[in-house]
Amino acid sequence: LLSLCHAEEAAVIVSGLRSTDVFVGESATFTCELSHPGVRNVQWWLDGTPLHNNLVTEISEQDGRIHTLTLNDVACHDSGTVTFRAGPLISSAKLLVKGISLPA
């Protein structure tokens, strides 16, 4: 009998990104949960552009498993596809930023 021993079991996405609708000026938060920590090469993208931690883009990680992206003060042009990538794992969701319609 052959017993397979994995030194490092491949992580999987437990809970992926969910599409989010927000109004202009609000914050949009995306969360992806991995089965276990230690996945390298974690990166967030918006429509193919890599995102980096700054005043408007908050990237955080909890226990190495829960990865969160918060886009603050969004504008209409921020609408698009948010992608989370951790090694070979990928999760994507849509961000729709809605303009505020003023009463006539």
pLDDT tens digits in sequence order for the chain, 104 residues long: 544 544 457 899 999 999 999 999 999 999 999 999 988 889 999 999 999 999 999 999 999 999 999 999 999 999 999 999 999 999 999 999 999 766 66
pLDDT of residue 104: 64
Confidence at residue 7, expressed as pLDDT on a 0 to 100 scale = 45
Q: Give the burial string for 65-104 (b: 16+ CB within 10 Å, else e).
A: bebbbebeebeeebbeebbbbbeebebebebebeeeeeee
Whole-number pLDDT of residue 6: 46
Structural fold of domain 13-98: Immunoglobulin-like (2.60.40)
